[in-house]
Amino acid sequence: MRIISLAILFIATVALAYRLGPHHQTSQTEGIETKRHVLYYVDPMHPSYKSDKPGTAPDCGMQLEPVYAGKTENATPSSESTGHSGGAVSIDEATQQLVGIRLATVEKSAGARTIRAVGRVLPEDTRVYAINSGVDGFIRETGGDSVGTVVAKDQKLAAYYAPDFIAAASGFLAANERVPGAVTNEGARSIQNYTDRLRNLGMSDLQIKRVAATRQLPESIDIIAPVSGVILARNVSPGQHFGRDMTFYQIADLSRVWVEAEIYEQDAPYLHPGGPAQVILRDDGRRLPARIADSLPQSNLGSGTVELRLEVNNPRTILRPQMKVDVELPVRLTPAVTVPLDAVIDSGAHTRIYVEHGGGVFEPREVQTGQRTSDTVEILKGVQPGERVVAASTFLVDSESRLKAQAR
């Protein structure tokens, strides 16, 4: 297939070389010939070839150009007299169709582009819950509490024994026994005081209600999940002794999560809090809507990038902490002069486009480019809205222009 493609390209280039420019230049030279004496005619591609008659060059089929008395250069109008850059070429309509040349109009419009990045899923810090100990004790049992396990609110994770609970639970039961009928203010305060003490020691409201209903001292204290979520950290094992303020578990509510994405600094001004985004799962391509968080982007010193935070609703907990996802951020660009991406020839040292001047004449013009999208390029300098430029087969026009400039 590559050989066939190269062959087609070669044929198209040869056809372009045979057909470029005869009509436009003939009409110009005929008007000049009536006023000035022609010494001879030369092949523009090979100036060493001379003929005493007008016509076409035998090697390439291009129109011979006249050399006038008192002149040693080609009589074709110069770039200064025509307003064109050196290397302007003339291509008739038939040849344009043959080699696939297509024109596009330069526009000034408010474009759009999509910023793409890789993101990492994190739990929101306001949705991470730590279950701590308020007493000394030891773990009696655990179960179904591995890191990464999804748990439900009020689910029992483990149980432990602590002597300090005995006195507090006994006082709680006694306070409830003293008020079998209508609860007085003093009785209500006593019950509330013991309830707060049990909570401070680490007993859940669920177990406190159970003690009040059964009127029995608990044999152990249950460690209960305070929220539905995923276990991020686990620091307990059966028979383990622990002290006050030990963290038993960390559980994250993942119904909404953060996604942190790294973007280039030059893209940051286009993104604002509350702006839309899309999070794409890599395994199945599912898309989840997201919004840019109100927090400011964090710069990565020396890397030229910033960390952007997104907020994402997470149905069925499909996003897990540390998961890698793809991120798309649609942005609106300020109004700018743009041309199709294929209209630009970038040789490294120079960037140029080819502007049509009517009659099949195309002028190479140096331009300064700005932002690029998937199909357009912003032109900061060198072209104006409304002008028409070559937007397809530009490389063929460029090749012929450079050959013509070298022949001059």
pLDDT above 80: residue 58? no
CA pair distance 277, 258, nearest whole angstrom: 12
pLDDT digit string (tens) for 265-300?
Answer: 888 888 999 999 999 999 999 999 999 999 878 887
- Band of residue 85 on the pLDDT scale cut at 50, 70, 90: very low
**Would you put residue 384 in left (φ > 0), alpha (ψ -120 to 50) or beta?**
beta
- Choose the CATH number for 2-109+336-407 among 2.40.420.20, 3.30.950.10, 3.40.1190.20, 1.10.3210.10: 2.40.420.20
Give the 3-state secondary structure of residue 353.
strand
pLDDT above 70: residue 100? yes
> Which pLDDT does position 24 carry in this prediction?
44
Other CB atoms within a 10 A radius of the CB of residue 170 amount to: 12
CA pair distance 79, 180, nearest whole angstrom: 108
Q: How far is CA 36 from the centre of its chain?
A: 63
> Which pLDDT does position 342 carry in this prediction?
92
**Which token pair is 12?**
């198209």
Burial class (CB in 10 A: 0-12, 13-18, 19+), 254: buried
Partnered with residue 108 across adjacent β-strands are 337
The dihedral built from the CA positions of residue 110, 111, 116 and 121, taken in this order, carries a sign that is: positive
**Which token pair is 133?**
């100990």
Residues 6+ apart with CB under 8 A from 82: 88
**Residue pair 176/208 in contact by the 8 Å Cβ criterion:** no
**pTM, 2 dp:** 0.59
CA pair distance 288, 121, nearest whole angstrom: 13
Q: What's the rounded mean pLDDT across residues 353-368?
A: 90
pLDDT digit string (tens) for 130-164?
Answer: 999 989 999 999 988 899 999 999 999 999 999 88
Highest mean predicted confidence (pLDDT) among 188-192, 285-289, 369-373: 285-289
Residue intervals of the chain classified under CATH 2.40.30.170 are 115-124+254-331
CA pair distance 34, 281, nearest whole angstrom: 74
208-217 exposure pattern, b = at least 16 Cβ within 10 A, e = fewer: beebeeeeee
pLDDT above 80: residue 35? no
Radius of gyration, alpha carbons of the chain: 40
**Residue pair 165/203 in contact by the 8 Å Cβ criterion:** yes
pLDDT digit string (tens) for 230-243?
Answer: 999 999 999 999 99
Q: 151 or 38: whose pLDDT is higher?
A: 151
CATH architecture of 115-124+254-331: Beta Barrel (2.40)
DSSP string, 199-220: HHHT--HHHHHHHHHHT---SS
Highest mean predicted confidence (pLDDT) among 5-9, 278-282, 337-341, 398-402: 278-282
- Band of residue 13 on the pLDDT scale cut at 50, 70, 90: low
Residue intervals of the chain classified under CATH 2.40.420.20 are 2-109+336-407
CA pair distance 59, 45, nearest whole angstrom: 9
Mean pLDDT of the chain: 82
- Band of residue 307 on the pLDDT scale cut at 50, 70, 90: very high
The dihedral built from the CA positions of residue 39, 45, 47 and 51, taken in this order, carries a sign that is: negative
CA pair distance 364, 240, nearest whole angstrom: 81
- Segment 274-277 long-range contacts (CB within 8 Å, at least 24 positions apart): 275/329, 275/331, 276/329, 276/330, 277/310, 277/327, 277/328, 277/329, 277/330
**Residue pair 293/300 in contact by the 8 Å Cβ criterion:** no
pLDDT digit string (tens) for 312-351?
Answer: 999 888 999 999 999 999 988 788 888 999 999 988 888 9
CA pair distance 194, 348, nearest whole angstrom: 79
pLDDT above 80: residue 52? no
Q: What's the rounded mean pLDDT across residues 57-61?
A: 67
Q: How far is CA 289 from CA 117, 262, 278, 314, in A?
A: 15, 18, 5, 10
**Residue pair 218/169 in contact by the 8 Å Cβ criterion:** yes
pLDDT above 90: residue 36? no
pLDDT digit string (tens) for 244-265?
Answer: 889 999 999 999 999 999 998 8
Burial class (CB in 10 A: 0-12, 13-18, 19+), 388: middle
- Band of residue 31 on the pLDDT scale cut at 50, 70, 90: very low
> Which pLDDT does position 25 carry in this prediction?
44
* Least confident range of 28-37, 196-205, 302-311: 28-37
In the block, tokens 């450079």 appear at: 402
Encoded amino acid at 260, one letter = E
